[in-house]
A and B are shown apart, each in its own frame.
Chain A
Amino acid sequence: MSEALTPQIEIRGLSKVYPIPGGEVHALTNINLTIEKGDIYGIIGMSGAGKSTLIRCLNRLDTPTDGQILIDGENILAMDKKQLRQTRRRMAMIFQQFNLLMQKSVARNVRYPLEIAGVPKKQANERVMELLRIVGLEDKANAFPAQLSGGQKQRVAIARALASDPEMLLCDEATSALDPMTTQSILALLQKINSELGITVVLITHEMAVIRQICNKVAILDGGLLVEQGTVDDVFMHTKSAAGRRLFGILPEQQEQLPPQPAIRIVFDGEAAEQPIISKLVKEIGLDVNILSADIRQLNQKAYGQMLIARPDDPFDVQQVMEYLRGLGMTVEEVNMP
Chain B
Amino acid sequence: MTWEKLLPLLWNSTVETLYMTFWSSLIAYAVGLPLGVLLVITRKDGIMPAPTFNTVLGVVINFLRSIPFIIMLAVLFPVTRAVIGTAIGTKSIVFPLIISAFPYIARMVESSLEEVDHGIIEAAQSMGSTNWQIIYKVLLPEAVPSLVNGAAISITTILGYTAMASAAGGGGLGSLAIVKGLNVRKFDVMYSASLLLVALVQIITVFGTRITRRLDHKRR
Contacts of A144 in B (CB 8 A): 217-218, 220
Q: Within the complex, what minimum Cβ distance (angstroms) separates B32 from chain A? A: 21
Q: Within the complex, what minimum Cβ distance (angstroms) separates B148 from chain A? A: 12
Contacts of B119 in A (CB 8 A): 95, 97, 99
Known contacts: A116-B127, A116-B129, A116-B133. The answer to whether A103 contacts B122 by CB under 8 A is no
A112 interface residue (CB < 8 Å to B): yes
Known contacts: A103-B142, A103-B217. The answer to whether A164 contacts B126 by CB under 8 A is no
- Provide the bound-state CA to CA distance between A113 and B134, in Å: 11
Q: Within the complex, what minimum Cβ distance (angstroms) separates A149 from chain B? A: 13
A101 interface residue (CB < 8 Å to B): yes
Contacts of A61 in B (CB 8 A): 122, 125-126
- Considering only CB atoms and an 8 Å cut-off, how many residues of chain A contact the other chain? 32
- Provide the bound-state CA to CA distance between A85 and B120, in Å: 17
* Inter-subunit contact A89/B141 (CB<8 Å): no
Q: Hey, what's the 0/1 contact readout for B202-220 against A, CB within 8 Å counting as 1?
A: 0000000000000111111
Picked from A95, A104, A164, the residue with its CB within 8 Å of the CB of B123 is A95
Picked from A89, A102, A145, the residue with its CB within 8 Å of the CB of B127 is A89
Contacts of B133 in A (CB 8 A): 116
A185 interface residue (CB < 8 Å to B): no
Known contacts: A99-B122, A101-B141, A103-B141. The answer to whether A146 contacts B128 by CB under 8 A is no
Contacts of B124 in A (CB 8 A): 112
* Inter-subunit contact A146/B217 (CB<8 Å): yes
B153 interface residue (CB < 8 Å to A): no
Contacts of B142 in A (CB 8 A): 101-103
Q: Within the complex, what minimum Cβ distance (angstroms) separates B132 from chain A? A: 10
* Inter-subunit contact A85/B126 (CB<8 Å): no
Contacts of B145 in A (CB 8 A): 103
Contacts of A113 in B (CB 8 A): 127-128
Known contacts: A102-B218, A147-B220. The answer to whether A88 contacts B125 by CB under 8 A is yes
Q: Hey, what's the 0/1 contact readout for B129-152 against A, CB within 8 Å counting as 1?
A: 110010001100110110000000
A115 interface residue (CB < 8 Å to B): yes
Residue on A nearest B124 in the bound complex, by CB: A112
Known contacts: A95-B119, A103-B141. The answer to whether A164 contacts B127 by CB under 8 A is yes
Q: Within the complex, what minimum Cβ distance (angstroms) separates A102 from chain B? A: 4
B117 interface residue (CB < 8 Å to A): yes
Residue on A nearest B220 in the bound complex, by CB: A146
Residue on A nearest B127 in the bound complex, by CB: A113
* Inter-subunit contact A86/B220 (CB<8 Å): no
Contacts of B130 in A (CB 8 A): 85, 116
* Inter-subunit contact A146/B123 (CB<8 Å): no
Q: Hey, what's the 0/1 contact readout for A19-40 against B, CB within 8 Å counting as 1?
A: 0000000000000000000000
Known contacts: A101-B138, A102-B218, A104-B141. The answer to whether A93 contacts B126 by CB under 8 A is yes
- Provide the bound-state CA to CA distance between A103 and B219, in Å: 10
Contacts of B141 in A (CB 8 A): 101, 103-104
Picked from A86, A100, A116, A117, the residue with its CB within 8 Å of the CB of B120 is A100
A 5-25 contacts with B by CB, 8 A? none
Contacts of A84 in B (CB 8 A): 128
Q: Within the complex, what minimum Cβ distance (angstroms) separates A131 from chain B? A: 14
Contacts of A157 in B (CB 8 A): 123
* Inter-subunit contact A103/B117 (CB<8 Å): no
A92 interface residue (CB < 8 Å to B): yes
Q: Within the complex, what minimum Cβ distance (angstroms) separates A159 from chain B? A: 13
- Provide the bound-state CA to CA distance between A67 and B133, in Å: 30
Known contacts: A100-B120, A101-B141, A104-B141. The answer to whether A89 contacts B128 by CB under 8 A is yes
A 67-124 contacts with B by CB, 8 A? 84-89, 92-93, 95, 97, 99-104, 112-113, 115-117
- Provide the bound-state CA to CA distance between A88 and B124, in Å: 10
* Inter-subunit contact A115/B128 (CB<8 Å): no
Chain B CB within 10 A, most for which of A87, A95, A116: A116
Q: Within the complex, what minimum Cβ distance (angstroms) separates A204 from chain B? A: 14
Contacts of A200 in B (CB 8 A): none
Chain B CB within 10 A, most for which of A102, A147, A164, A170: A102
- Give B residues with C-beta under 8 Å from A: 117, 119-120, 122-130, 133, 137-138, 141-142, 144-145, 215-220
Q: List 15 A-B contacts (CB under 8 A).
A: A85-B128, A85-B130, A88-B127, A89-B128, A93-B127, A99-B123, A100-B123, A102-B218, A103-B142, A103-B144, A103-B217, A104-B141, A112-B124, A113-B127, A116-B130
- Give A residues with C-beta under 8 Å from B: 59, 61, 84-89, 92-93, 95, 97, 99-104, 112-113, 115-117, 144-147, 157, 160-161, 164, 170
Given contact pairs A103-B145, A116-B129, enumerate 10 new A-B contacts (beta carbons under 8 Å): A61-B125, A88-B125, A88-B127, A97-B117, A100-B123, A102-B218, A144-B218, A146-B217, A146-B219, A161-B127
